[in-house]
Amino acid sequence: MAPLLELRDFHVHRGETPVVHGVSLAVEAGEVLVLVGRNGAGKTTLLEGVAGLHESRGEVRCGDRDLTGASTRRRLWAGIALCAEGRSLFPEMSVWENLALGGYLWRRGEAERRARELLGRFPLLADRRKQKAGSMSGGEQQLLAVCRALMSRPRILLLDEPTAGLAPRWREDIAGLVRSLASSGRAVVLVDDNLEFALSVADRVLGLSRGRETFYLSRSDCPTPEMVLEKLLVSEQAVPSDSERISHAF
């Protein structure tokens, strides 16, 4: 069976700047892949490139569907959803209205049915159905952001910094949600600076340095934050900077 998400020699630009360089990866159904790297390593750009938000080249596949060069809308229809860093909610809109916006691809009746289904799974949000998103706690807003991404019924969820600024109890709740999504057969690609949280849900870890893949670790390797940081340090020393590559070319 084909992986739910597969990238081959994937490159991403932010404007005129090349950020991700030739990354290849595969994520199976039911798997959580965690991307790790220093700030500027290309983690967020990689997620956004997969979602179709930046110019990219290289092969992108979702199951047996070839999405190379596909628009953001077509990738969303195929089952790829991004829950972006910073939550990007509409603070003056209610919980219900934010969910409805996440279902814009669906006909109104189907979007409402899907929103009711999600509220049924998350009673905390159901209790705040009419509350403005901006008046909720950070953890409640993050839960709403993930649910809004789930409105499109994604097969692949790209999850960027879900625990940023959250209290420990909310990190545990988000970890449970990530595990639940994987258990339901989805593939999750996660970026989070809290390595303890990220490793607690990871099936595999992919290290990035200067936009290039540098190492993989699996759950069987029993990765710890210290092990990951050490590997990142070694990989950064091994991967030349852009200026070094240019100077070596002449």
Query: In this predicted structure, what is the pLDDT of residue 244?
Result: 46
74 within some domain: yes
Residue with tokens 């998103």: 133
| Identity of the residue numbered 216 | Y
Q: Tell me the average pLDDT across 171-180.
A: 92
* Percent residues over pLDDT 70 in the chain: 95
Identity of the highest mean pLDDT range in 31-45, 80-94, 101-115: 31-45
Residue 177 located in a structural domain: yes
Answer yes or no: is 52 within a domain.
Answer: yes
Domain count, the chain: 1
69 belongs to a structural domain: yes
pLDDT tens string 187-225: 999 999 999 999 999 999 999 999 999 999 999 999 999
Question: What crossing angle do the helices spanning 95-102 and 138-150 adopt, rounded to 10°?
Answer: 30
Indicate left, alpha or beta for 166 from its phi (over 0: left) and psi (-120 to 50: alpha). Answer: beta
Question: Using one digit for the tens of pLDDT, what is the confidence trace for 3-25?
Answer: 999 999 999 999 999 999 999 99
Is the pLDDT at 242 greater than 90? The verdict is no
Give mean pLDDT, residues 98-103. Answer: 90
- The rounded distance, in Å, linking the Cα atoms of 229 and 246 is 27
> Region 91-95: what's the mean pLDDT?
95
Q: Answer whether residue 184 is part of any domain.
A: yes
- The residue range of the domain holding 55 is 5-82+157-248
Is 149 within a domain? no
CATH of the domain at 217: 3.40.50.300
Q: pLDDT at residue 238 above 60?
A: yes
Which residues of the chain form beta strands (DSSP E)?
5-14, 17-27, 32-36, 56-62, 65-66, 80-83, 156-160, 187-191, 204-209, 212-218
At residue 103, the pLDDT reads: 86
pLDDT in tens, 29-70: 999 999 999 999 999 999 999 999 999 999 999 999 999 999
Coarse DSSP helix, strand, coil percentages of the chain, rounded to the nearest 5 percent? 40, 25, 30
Question: How does 176-208 read in b/e, with b if 16+ C-beta sit within 10 Å?
Answer: ebbeebbeeebbbbbbbebbebbbebbbbbbbb
Residue 152 lies in a domain: no
Nearest Cα neighbor of 190 from 24, 37, 14 is 37
Give a yes or no: residue 235 inside a domain: yes
